[in-house]
Amino acid sequence: MRRVVVTGMGAITPVGNDVATTWRAIIEGVSGGALITKFDHSTFPVHFACEVKGFDPLIYMERKEAKRADPFAQYAICASVQAMTDAGLDDVSKYDPERLGVIIGSGIGGLKTFEEQHDVYRERGQSKISAFFIPMFISDIAAGLVSMRYNAKGPNYATISACATSAHAIGDAYRTIQYGDADIIITGGSEATVTPMAIGGFANMKALSERNESPATAMRPFDATRDGFVMGEGGGIVILEELEHAKNRGAKIYAEVVGYGATGDAYHLTAPAPEGEGAQRAMRRALADAKLSAADIEYVNAHGTSTPPGDLAETMAMKAVFGPCAKHVNVSSTKSMTGHMLGAAGAVEFIITSLALRDSVVPPTINYETPDPELDLNYTPNQAVKRELRAALSNSFGFGGHNVTLAIKRFEE
């Protein structure tokens, strides 16, 4: 199999509108939680979220293009521009378009556009629905728009698997390059769900924290007082590239993707399988694919959503997979800072995990105050930790029983 490396990164997140700012905030333990500014939330049970802040799409897009793109697509395009520039691939002359693919997912797609156009229909009738409604709403349009920007004529599609969406996208991109169907793939995910319907829907199913008095401390993965997640938004994009192709053009290399495990729970709409059974199999498959043992892993970027059943199931899964090694692994949930970015979460957390390997530093789980006796791993509470890291896992699990684990190593010749 051909080796696959990471040569570029881009991110729009609740704690920074580029990778460097986001990474600095993550290491410093900065929370992105604050009161919602995007709509009137006064009648909602939840008044806060982890919104993207100070974002200007016109830095990366023409005004007309931005007007015809839902925020989720804007985030994907802007993060893709960052990533391609970072990889030194910002000019079409630098690659073969037929060997460049795009796999970018979104769990929900253009929800803001859907809500707005539904209001138009109800208030003004069918004839006033925008002709751009469908292409602005559909989840695959982000991949399509990015492919058009870069004349990418290789494999092109979107993944949709709730909170595992962008981890699936990265895993598929990894496989596609391994199998020789592309040399470079722009991959990741985006989401823009700080909207009335999304906040209302998740709140009514009791998935969201209701700590309205303290938005910055509401997302508290693995803590005994956790009461749900905080909605996040944004986009994360990475450039995956075949190793020899990257070396031949003198590309910098962040990390190497070495394993991909994807499983299904076949159990419940929203709850994880007992003891994280599906998550266990995803982690084991990723380790087997990477030819790594549990003892080789020093860090796990956990799915860690701050929900009582989710954090327990993931902890049980890690203990089952790692056995006696579990106590020696640093675990953290960086959602404690970004909130839960849904379909973008896996890609942003893949970026964070890759940078952790590069810099030999474990990001913290902030807001960890009260240990839960059932959750007894090292969750790297509140402060980043320096540690030599060679191999790590990044977990992403979604409603519907979708499980993905990506195995990443520090790059070595």
Whether 168 is a known active-site residue: answer no
- Locate tokens 């090694």: which residue? 325
Whether 402 is a known active-site residue: answer no
- Residue in 163, 168, 245, 402 annotated catalytic: 163
- Residue in 47, 168, 303, 402 annotated catalytic: 303
β partners of residue 407: 259, 393
Listed residue (44, 264, 75) closest to 162, CA to CA: 264
Angle between the 308-322 and 277-290 helix axes, to the nearest 10 degrees? Answer: 40
Residue 225 backbone dihedrals phi, psi, to 5 degrees: -100, 15
SS3 of the chain: the string is: CCCEEEEEEEEEECCECCHHHHHHHHHHCCCCCEECCCCCCCCCCCCEEECCCCCCHHHCCCHHHHHCCCHHHHHHHHHHHHHHHHCCCCCHHHCCHHHEEEEEECCCCCHHHHHHHHHHHHHHCHHHCCCCHHHHHCCCHHHHHHHHHHCCCCCEECCCECECHHHHHHHHHHHHHHCCCCCEEEEEEEECCCCHHHHHHHHHCCCECCCCCCHHHCCCCCECCCCCECEECEEEEEEEEEHHHHHHCCCCCCEEEEEEEEEECCCCCCCCCHHHHHHHHHHHHHHHHHCCCHHHCCEEECCCCCCHHHHHHHHHHHHHHHHHHHHHCEEECCHHHHCECHHHHHHHHHHHHHHHHHHCEECCECCCCCECCCCCCECCECCCEECCCCEEEEEEEECCCEEEEEEEECCCC
Whether 303 is a known active-site residue: answer yes
Residues catalogued as catalytic:
163, 303, 340
